[in-house]
């Protein structure tokens, strides 16, 4: 049986990938030690997801391991070797706010953990397809240098701007403030590219906008839409950090991301990079998201605005998906914002019962 290794297998994208590749008749090796709880507290624990996956997917095998422990991870690679056809690295410390609290641990998880997986892939299964989930934070605060206008509910580029349809991978990652999270992810990003371009492995880096969906264990420091909906359903205060709540993000459903991963797996390249997200059609500001959610739930938000924005935070970011769409013509977005909101609201209501 073909094997896929998925790190961070109980998180949003990891669990989505488990379900997807299980349907494709893969044996799924999941690696997840619930560090998300360590990072963000019990509200972000993925233990519920682990229980669900183990109960419902017979070819899912869970390993409660840390990807920074190369010796323990090596046992898995040594056991399955060339049967490992795909590796999807979803494991990460995902918050630029949290990274400042423990710079060493952030770098160890995001950069060294990724290097461990790449080295083991090179040693035991060099023909595997290696998928690295990266972030738009590799561009640092360079997106904030784009000329924007301030509208009533969002910041926006003018229509004639070359960025109107989003930011591509041509944007420089240099000469900017990244946050320490951005630096650790950038290191993993470049290393993944190098194993592809220098050594010839089939690797790809997806530089992602906001990933979302009902499987997200959102917390204040990570998981924008998930945490926003949690606050609304449970009538808790939501904090808006800077930019008046007009900062814009594009949102991609985890299912659409995993479909993109599948398309790359079927036709891999060496050391490729793609910006990927919900695009302009799935973009919203915090204020706009709050308004849309209130219409569905009939519940007003309780919120406070903080004047100070987060370090390295983007005032406006929309992903340009055109490069990926050109290379993989079968891929498309299946979820729009309204369907994402409704699915997540229903899931949160169920969990809150």
Structural domain boundaries enclosing 327:
3-352
For residue 159, what are its two tokens?
A: 């229509």
List the CATH number of the domain containing 213: 3.40.50.720
User: Is 164:157 a contact under the CB 8 Å cutoff?
Assistant: yes
- Of 219, 223, 224, whose CA–CA distance to 245 is shortest? 224
Domain count, the chain: 1
Nearest to 110 by CA among 183, 174, 45, 176: 183
For residue 205, CA distances in Å to 88, 130, 138, 196, 208 come to: 10, 9, 11, 10, 9
38-82 confidence digits (pLDDT tens):
888 888 889 999 999 999 999 999 999 999 999 999 999 999 999
Q: What pLDDT sits at residue 352? A: 78
229-244 mean pLDDT: 95
**Mean pLDDT for the stretch of residues 89-99:** 89
pLDDT bracket for residue 353 (50, 70, 90): confident
Q: What is the mean pLDDT of residues 228-243?
A: 95
- Residue 193's contacts (CB-CB under 8 Å, 6 or more residues apart) are 203, 205, 271, 272, 273
- pLDDT of 97 > 90? The answer is no
| pLDDT, tens digit (0-9, with 9 covering 90-100), for 238-283 | 999 999 999 999 999 999 999 999 999 999 999 999 999 999 999 9
pTM of the model: 0.95
Contact 30, 83 (CB under 8 A): no
CB 191 within 8 A of CB 203: no
d(CA 196, CA 201): 4
| Confidence grade of residue 231 (pLDDT, cut at 50, 70, 90) | very high
- Reported as a single tens digit per residue, the pLDDT across 307-345 is 888 877 899 999 999 999 999 999 999 999 999 999 999
């Amino acid at each position: 049986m073909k094997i896929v290794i998925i790190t961070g297998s109980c998180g949003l994208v990891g669990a989505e990938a488990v379900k997807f590749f299980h349907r494709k008749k893969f044996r799924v090796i999941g690696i997840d030690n619930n560090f998300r709880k360590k990072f963000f507290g019990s509200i972000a624990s993925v233990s519920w997801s682990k229980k669900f996956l183990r109960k419902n997917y017979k070819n899912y095998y869970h390993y409660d391991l840390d990807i920074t422990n190369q010796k323990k991870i090596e046992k898995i690679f040594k056991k399955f070797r060339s049967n490992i056809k795909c590796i999807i690295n979803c494991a990460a410390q995902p918050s630029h706010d949290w990274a400042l609290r423990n710079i060493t641990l952030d770098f160890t998880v995001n950069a060294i953990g990724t290097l461990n997986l790449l080295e083991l892939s090179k040693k035991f299964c060099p023909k595997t397809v290696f998928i690295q989930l990266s972030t738009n934070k590799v561009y640092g605060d360079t997106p904030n240098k784009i000329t924007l206008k301030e509208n009533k509910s969002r910041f926006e580029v003018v229509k004639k701007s070359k960025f109107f349809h989003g930011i591509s991978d041509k944007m420089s990652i240099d000469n900017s403030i990244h946050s320490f999270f951005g630096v650790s992810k950038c290191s993993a990003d470049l290393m993944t590219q190098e194993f592809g371009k220098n050594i010839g492995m089939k690797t790809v880096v997806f530089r992602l906008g906001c990933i979302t969906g009902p499987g997200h264990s959102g917390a204040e420091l990570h998981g924008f839409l998930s945490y926003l909906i949690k606050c609304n359903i449970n009538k808790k205060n939501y904090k808006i950090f800077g930019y008046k709540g007009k900062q814009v993000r594009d949102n991609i459903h985890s299912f659409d991301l995993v479909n993109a991963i599948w398309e790359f797996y079927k036709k891999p390249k060496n050391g490729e990079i793609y910006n990927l997200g919900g695009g302009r059609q799935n973009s919203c500001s915090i204020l706009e998201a709050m308004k849309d959610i209130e219409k569905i739930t009939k519940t007003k938000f309780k919120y406070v605005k903080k004047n100070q924005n987060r370090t390295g935070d983007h005032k406006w970011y929309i992903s340009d998906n055109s490069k990926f769409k050109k290379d993989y013509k079968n891929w498309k977005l299946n979820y729009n914002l309204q369907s994402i909101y409704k699915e997540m609201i229903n899931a949160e209501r169920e969990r809150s019962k």
